[in-house]
A and B are shown apart, each in its own frame.
Chain A
């Protein structure tokens, strides 16, 4: 168990920088939720239950437009479709865990913790299941709590984050920093470029579905290029 504890802290330290971004984002959500008429507890419950930034912001803006309930749920979930892809990617690594552990992994799958865990699992294939789980929970737990605390603070204080902080760009920078170290091989770079170009071309496709299409083509291409490289060697 000593080594699993070690992996937990590795995940924790790896994810810590993201707290400084997720915290303010949570506050922005809290402020918007309060301005839309949600009380503090409902705003917190929203973040505890859904724990997915993009989907929550989408749902909130649809609610401001007085969209029908079913539409809000469907569109919010469409924005979260990428999570099913994360689930499939985690399955070979964490699928052997007990049901409730997997249920907890699922609940706490966030973009950054998924990306950190996937990089770690690929770099270190000798990890045991308990080490992999420890790393995952280390990477996800604290940031999840920060998202919820941020939401509560935002809803309670109602202070808007000033524009000069350019918080809109904190998340892109964090995601670029996450993906850049993973760009090592030709298939990886090709997949990333394909996804970037296609997502721009498909930017007008509503409900984040352009992203799913772009990502799907890119990962088909990445895997195919890897296979061809292997067969020609």
Chain B
């Protein structure tokens, strides 16, 4: 790539300010005003709606295998999910998923 340094800094500044503005948007505008209950009810589902949306394509269409379903990655994901639901512990779930991934990747099928 070949961007003059001014252009590079415009890109960085634009992304920085825009990202901050997105993150500040509602926090800044709404401030201490109370949101209606129906809206707060929907917003309680943000985490369980956004994260699975990020995760699913990464699990089922992993870039590392050119978007082809990969059994070790799928099993690691399944174990992480199961252990996470069972223990309700983020750390334990990450460790269980990691162990599964590395042991599966090192087994030659």
Contacts and interface: CB of A to CB of B under 8 A. Distances in A.
A, B bound: yes
Interface of A: 14, 17, 21, 36-38, 42, 45-46, 49-52, 55-56, 59, 63-66, 69, 72-73, 76-77, 80-92, 94-96, 99, 102-103, 105-107, 109, 111, 114-116, 118-119, 122, 163-164, 166, 168-183, 187-189, 191-200, 203, 211, 214-216, 218-223, 226-227
Main secondary structure of the interface of A (DSSP, over half): helix
B94 to A, nearest CB: 5
Contacts of A169: 58, 62, 64, 73, 76, 101
Given A91-B30, A94-B27, A64 B1 contact: yes
A92 B40 contact: yes
Contacts of A220: 42
A9 to B, nearest CB: 15
Main secondary structure of the interface of B (DSSP, over half): helix
B43 interface: yes
Contacts of A116: 90
A223 B56 contact: no
Contacts of A226: 41, 44-45
Contacts of B50: 82, 85-86, 195, 211, 215
Contacts of A37: 1-2
B105 to A, nearest CB: 6
B26 A84 contact: yes
21 contacts: A42-B8, A55-B15, A72-B15, A73-B18, A83-B23, A86-B46, A96-B32, A115-B47, A168-B63, A168-B64, A172-B73, A176-B84, A177-B93, A179-B48, A180-B88, A182-B48, A183-B85, A196-B55, A196-B56, A199-B52, A203-B61
Contacts of B43: 85, 88-89, 92, 219, 223
B52 to A, nearest CB: 4
A179 B2 contact: no
Given A80-B19, A195-B49, A211-B50, A179 B55 contact: yes
Given A175-B54, A182-B48, 18 more contacts: A42-B12, A63-B11, A66-B1, A84-B25, A92-B35, A102-B28, A106-B20, A109-B23, A166-B105, A169-B62, A172-B59, A172-B73, A177-B90, A179-B48, A180-B80, A191-B48, A219-B46, A223-B45
A218 B45 contact: yes
